[in-house]
Structure 1
Amino acid sequence: MYPEANLLGDESSPYLRQHADNPVYWRAWGRNALDEARDTGKPILLSVGYAACHWCHVMAHECFEDLEVAELMNRHFVNVKVDREERPDIDQIYMAALGAMGEQGGWPLTMFLTPDAGPFWGGTYFPKTSRYGRPGFMDILASIHRVWQSDKQKIANNVTALTRHLQANLAVEAEPGTLDPEIFDQFATNIFAAMDTEKGGLRGAPKFPNAPFMDTLWLSWLRNGDRQHRDAFLASLGTMLQGGIYDHLGGGLSRYAVDDRWLVPHFEKMLYDNAHMIRHALWAFDATGDDLFRRRIEETVGWLQREMLIDGRFASSLDADSEGEEGKFYCWSAEEIPDSLEFTLFREIYDVTPEGNWEHKTILNRLAAGSADRPELEQQLEPIRRQLFEIREKRVHPTRDEKALTDWNGLMIRALAEAGRALEQPDWVLLAQTAYHQIRASMKDGRVPHSVLGESRLFPGLSSDYAAMINAAVSLYQATFEEDYIAEAAQWLDILNADHRTGPDEYSFSAARADDVIIRIRGDQDEAISSATSQIIEALTRLAIASGNTDLLEQAERVAAKAVGRVLHQRYGQAGILNSASLLLEPIKLVLVTPTKDHELVQAAARMVDPRRTDIWVEWQHEQAIELIPGGGAIAIEKPAAYLCRGFSCLPPVASAGELEELLQQRRPG
């Protein structure tokens, strides 16, 4: 009835296709695979990974390409492969189950499930035979099979306990919390206490950019003027952008550093990390004027244009490996960099030594070079960088995961729209618009797919897809002041409500019609990016302000209160919810009433970056009357002006660019 064959060859995921030639009888996750497990009575062996994952490749080579391992897997299990980037809802459920077993999470994720998808045992990477202090996969397969045959009651007890744990943690019920400034301030204090004030990031190794925590520190500084939080943000960002985690020749940030000083990256490059980095560098440049941050944005946008565009959308990632070796594309031997007078300065600045700085090779970095804000130094180094870049281009490139994920694209569209607006780069805004319209073109029946690869579309979308695209649309509106973006954002909200709303003030991560999940999780947990719930709260808030919809703003407050209540109950992994909920303490709106979109007031507003602020443009007409605050009554606008509103009150208008810049600067900490 069920084919004894590997069924991954026609899947939309490049990661799944990487395994299409394995001797393992892989299936993709879905109703068909679950039905097969139920009908055959076999347990499910679930393997979750992603295309750029180094240890996923290692386990694939050692185990899934091995005929002896495959024979055991095929005989005793229904073997299911999941691309965690295509199905983060599945990944979150079973990663949480692994955590409940007391195990450290990571990828590849290896889980054993009952035929009805209940988890009962798991781990991460396993070698074929015991080594590295880890049990061998062959032994594990045999042991799980014996337990399945002899002690199903024990397995049932494990499944019951784990499922209760998942329900309690991923679909928790809690009383609404209060949007109390003290909650947000205390959380920011806790994050700061965990920071490495010398090297940046959280203390210890490995070091991740951790965008939600970075957001927490910056929003705390904007809200309260806590310079320690501001400086921790700037030190972390500045160090990682000078470290080996940043690609100094091609642009772009790697996933994380394996050491405690940002030198040695795990070399994969992810779209979302770079979207966050662009926004963070924009905030840092606006606050400090340090040209390091502007240059890193420009270099990273160049990388996007050169290496990540596919049919106007952005690919997901670049692999850590090339030619079967992690980091081979990016590292240098001393002999590959000429030992000539011309290269002396470069060797000094970029830490090039005969012995190397990692496994007898050199990872280019500027950790010991001091400030980068020296234009004359950059002019000297640029020809050398360009020369080495051209040499590197002749190497075998890391593989690109060419699927375009809607939520990750939404994050990058927003980043490009905001950076393009603030730094007067219309080409970046156009890049964002093109990706946005390509995603709209991939819709079916008004709904977005989660993933696009060629002609393949993966439906249904996740709540994060709609939230990210709403936020992208609002940012594109602010970059262009084209009203269509607000109308389209409202349409996406309608679909989000129809497909993901589970109650008046709650949303699920998976769509209502997703019939292959054991629980419909809320999507409260942050990962490398802020959670789906946090993105929804921010999307509701920004769209409400941009559209003047007070009912929607009240809904945002209720959704945020319910989510904060759950945060107070769980108290882990939900920085994103607190960050987005804090925007509702005092919503900030700037109303620009000018005759044209290139008026000096509009340009001044673009230069003054504040992630809490939503800007609205109204075409000025002589002695027109407009309503600045919904329900606040119309006022006559006698001349072009800008009105800064906080909550339900607006300050007196300003009429010149200088006055507006002074006003916005006064409203931020010094």
Structure 2
Amino acid sequence: MNRLAGSQSPYLLQHADNPVDWWPWGEQAFDEARRRDVPVLLSVGYASCHWCHVMARESFEDETVAAYLNERFLPVKVDREERPDVDAVYMEAVQAATGQGGWPMTVFMTAEGEPFYFGTYFPREPHAGLPSFTQLLQGVHAAWTERRGEVAQVAARITGDLAERRLSYDAPAPPGEEELARAVRALAAEFDEAHGGFGGAPKFPPSMVIEFLLRHHVRTGSREALRIAEGTCEAMARGGIYDQLGGGFARYAVDAGWAVPHFEKMLYDNALLARVYTHLWRVTGSAFARRVALETADFLVAELRTPEGGFASALDADSEAQDGGGHQEGAFYTWTPEQLRDALGPADARLAAAVYAPGDEGTLRLPGPEAPAELRARLAEARARRPRPERDDKVVAAWNGLAVAALAEAGACFGRDDLVAAARGAADLLVSVHLGPDGRLARTSRDGLAGQGAGVLEDYADVAEGFLALYAVTGTRAWLDRAGGLLDVVLERFAGVGGELFDTADDAERLIRRPQDPTDGATPSGWAAAAGALLSHAAYTGDARYRVAAERALGIVRQLGPRVPRFAGWGLAVAEAAVDGPREVAVVGAPGDPAADALHAVALRAAAPGAVVARGAPDDEDPAPLLAGRPLREGRATAYVCRGFVCAAPTTDPETLAAQLA
């Protein structure tokens, strides 16, 4: 057992029994590399990564490979979800040099952390132009021992290039009407008319872009924006990327038509998509969107909730095959004709085969919900007896913030108090375990114990977003105040003098560069998420400091949105809220008053971009700022719709309130 045995990360623990003498990331590892005068091999992945498992089986579990590696290198393992800062810095180098990235990420570097050679997956044997991993090790060792001067020059040049990549930012104005309209036109030009979504294979759920399109439609009435959003949501949920038996979305489709998924299921995808489909329902009233939103929310609670109340990071793509052939990708989810007959009988198996799409090697996959509900229930029952995929039960702060927001809003919109309770449970865990007495966040926890990694920008921003959503739904003032505390840390520790934002705090561990990325990946960029939370908090409190910070951060979206809207979706969505106001809704009424409940429900179901909702009692001694000075009208529960704390005429009528928010 190597030095990973004491780790909290499930990914690192997967490698704890490797014959490779892995070290965790840290100064001790680099000191040892200096002492031995060997290069560092950095291997970065995550627990549910299919190709990480493949490379581990092929190379890291091989005694011969491990012996060569241990003698000539200092091997370091990093969980990218635990240390996104380390991953971001070296992935930037990989992408700059190779034009692509991915995991496992393989980086060779000096003991000063300067990279000089990198790639992703390397096979056991040479394949498709790639050297074998052993050949790679031999080549790097030869360069290190025979051409050290060249290696040092390459490492210095790459490190210098990375250091010069700091974003030049002068805080231009946030996007306005023209930039937002241009972004929609650019998305329309890239829209896949045949299959929905954008681009070809592989195809990822564009959650943040859909959120922008829905907000743009609500604000402007754009039918084109709604058509693209609705078409993409329909295609995804009727495709194989969506689990028709158990709910929830796979990470991406390997084809352009959403039919064949890469089977790992990530918390962040499903939190974002549960919220997207909830918002699609708010806009259209679609029963289909409602079903998908609730099934996805139920998947989160049933499959990813931990005993402590948080949400686990992911389910593996791989699981034990039915024929005993070892772990295979998709084994839990796919069906052969024989398995269908065993589960359903010959007649219903033929019906299933008629509505399931053919897959690879004789398997059958479910592309849509056309099969009768009774048949799907029987298949789900049969599938439940199979070996289940492993679960990465690490709790990531940012992704739990996304889940809190999604579950709180879905619970409120659909009258599901259990989902609101699940959101509150995760938020409680974030407060009790992740949030320190100094107001700083731990990035991860496991089994109720906080990890060592410091929270990054997306953690503060997404957790603040979740707390603000929970405040809107519950009216509990503590969630608003806690969000404000997190955003104060953002302004103090993550903001630059020009209004730009960094991914790590100014007192975080120093890497070869301070990571900074305003573009979305699989999740909203920390930069855009912080802008959104700051904007909402300003709307709740009237504090101009947060509004100014949000608008300065949104300046980058003015630059990126019209040119690359697929990578600026969340920033564009936040900009839509800023242009719209956002609307501020104050509902005043006694707790348990049905009239106040009715007004509150209307406010929460309104689709106005980024609208904030506060509810309180008329006799609150310390009301939230948005509620201050808002009396009852004629002794009845009353709602106020405002922009910048300037309000329209108050109303006691839910229909009038709905009209004001339309």
Deviations along 1:365-394, one digit per CA (max 9) or x if unpaired, are 218x4xxxxxxx8xxx33322221121111
Q: Does 1:543 align with 2:545?
A: no
For the residues of structure 2 that align with 1:629 and 1:391, how far apart are their CA atoms?
A: 53
Structure 2 spans left out of the alignment, 5+ residues: 321-326
> Hey, what does 1:525 align to over in structure 2?
519
Contact (CA 8 Å) 1:178, 1:565: kept in 2 or not?
no
Counterpart check, 1:659 vs 2:662: no
Q: In 2 relative to 1, CA 566–513 (structure 1 residues): closer, same or farther, beyond 3 Å?
A: farther
| Conservation of the 8 A alpha-carbon contact between 2:355 and 2:366 | no
Between the aligned partners of 2:640 and 2:534, the Cα distance in structure 1 is 22
Using the TM superposition, give the Cα deviation of residue 347 of structure 1 relative to its aligned residue in structure 2, in angstroms: 4.2
Q: Partner residue of 2:316?
A: 319
Q: Which amino acid aligns with 1:444?
A: G
Return closer, same or farther for 1:166/1:23 CA change in 2, 3 Å cut-off. Answer: same
Which amino acid in the other structure matches residue 604 of structure 1? Answer: V
- Which one-letter code corresponds to 2:133 in the other structure? F
Q: 1:340-384, CA deviations, whole angstroms, 9 ceiling, x for partnerless residues?
A: 445665444444xxxx433210111218x4xxxxxxx8xxx3332
Q: Would the alpha carbon gap of residues 232 and 116 (structure 1) be closer, same or farther in structure 2, given more than 3 Å must change?
A: same
Amino acid in structure 2 at the alignment position of 1:425: R
Residues in 1 aligned to 2:175 and 2:454: alpha-carbon distance in whole angstroms: 36
1:265-315 CA-to-partner distances (Å, cap 9, x unmatched) read 000000000011101111112222221211122222222222211121100
Q: Distance in 2 between matches of 1:569 and 1:260?
A: 23
Distance 1:433 1:328, change over 3 A: same
1:511 maps to what in 2?
A: 505
Whether 1:44 and 2:47 are equivalent positions in the alignment is: no
Whole-Å Cα distance in 2 between the matches of residues 162 and 647 of structure 1?
48
Q: Which residue of 425, 435, 442 maps to 1:449?
A: 442
Q: Are 2:364 and 1:362 aligned?
A: yes
Letter in 2 for 1:547: T
Matches within 5 A, 1:166-565: 166-169=162-165, 171-181=166-176, 182-310=178-306, 311-323=308-320, 324-337=327-340, 338-341=344-347, 345-351=351-357, 356-366=358-368, 369=370, 381-442=372-433, 443-445=435-437, 446-454=439-447, 455-503=449-497, 505-561=499-555, 564=558
Q: CA deviation at 1:184?
A: 2.7
Match of 1:374 in 2: none
Q: Indicate the SS of the match to 1:82.
A: strand
Per-residue deviation at 1:339?
A: 4.1
Deviation at 1:233, TM superposition (A): 1.0
Shift, 1:603, TM fit: 1.9
Measure the CA separation in 2 of the matches of 1:224 and 1:491. 34
Shift of 1:539: 1.0
Deviation at 1:505, TM superposition (A): 2.8
SS in 1 for 2:78: strand
The 2-side partners of 1:432 and 1:277 are apart by: 16
CA drift of 1:566 comes to: 8.0
The answer as to 2:96 corresponding to 1:100 is: yes
Instruction: Check the 8 A contact 2:51/2:103 in 1, yes or no.
Output: yes
Distance in 2 separating the partners of 1:569 and 1:29:
37
- The DSSP-based 3-state class of the residue aligned with 1:616 is strand
Q: Give, in whole Å, the separation in 1 of the partners of 2:294 and 2:243.
A: 13
Please report how far the alpha carbon of residue 82 of structure 1 lies from its aligned counterpart in structure 2 after TM superposition.
Answer: 0.9
Deviation at 1:570, TM superposition (A): 9.7
CA–CA distance in structure 2, aligned partners of residues 348 and 437 of structure 1: 47
Deviates more, 1:391-400 or 1:543-552: 543-552
SS at match of 1:359: helix
AA of the residue aligned to 1:589: R
More displaced stretch, 224-233 vs 336-345: 336-345
Amino acid at match of 1:172: L
- What residue identity is the alignment partner of 1:255? R
Opposite residue 617 of structure 1, the aligned amino acid is: R
For 2:361, what is the secondary structure of its paired residue? coil
Q: Tell me which residue corresponds to 1:373.
A: none
How far residue 195 of structure 1 moved from its aligned partner, in angstroms, is: 1.4
425-434 or 487-496: which moved more? 487-496
Partner amino acid for 1:194? E
**Aligned residue identity for 1:450:** R
Q: Which of 573-582 and 254-263 deviates more?
A: 573-582
SS at match of 2:264: strand
Matches within 5 A, 1:24-35: 24-35=20-31
CA gap 1:126/1:120 in 2 versus in 1, 3 angstroms = same
Kept in 2, the 8 Å contact 1:175–1:566? The answer is: no
Amino acid at match of 1:297: A
Which residue pairs with 1:668 in the alignment? none
Out of 68, 72, 76, which is 1:72 matched to? 68
- Counterpart in the other structure of 2:324: none
- What's the secondary structure of 1:404's corresponding residue? strand
8 Å contact 1:642–1:660 — kept in the other structure?
yes
Q: TM-score, normalised by structure 2?
A: 0.91
SS at match of 2:118: strand
> Match of 1:587?
581
Q: Supply the distance in 2 between the matched residues of 1:543 and 1:524 (Cα, whole angstroms).
A: 20
Q: How has the CA–CA distance of structure 1 residues 627 and 121 changed in structure 2, closer, same or farther, with 3 Å as cutoff?
A: closer
CA contact (8 A) 1:563 1:577 kept: yes
Q: Residue deviations 1:110-151, cap 9 Å, x none?
A: 111111111111111111221233211111111111112233
Could you tell me which amino acid in structure 2 is paired with residue 322 of structure 1?
S
Secondary structure of 1:396's counterpart equals coil
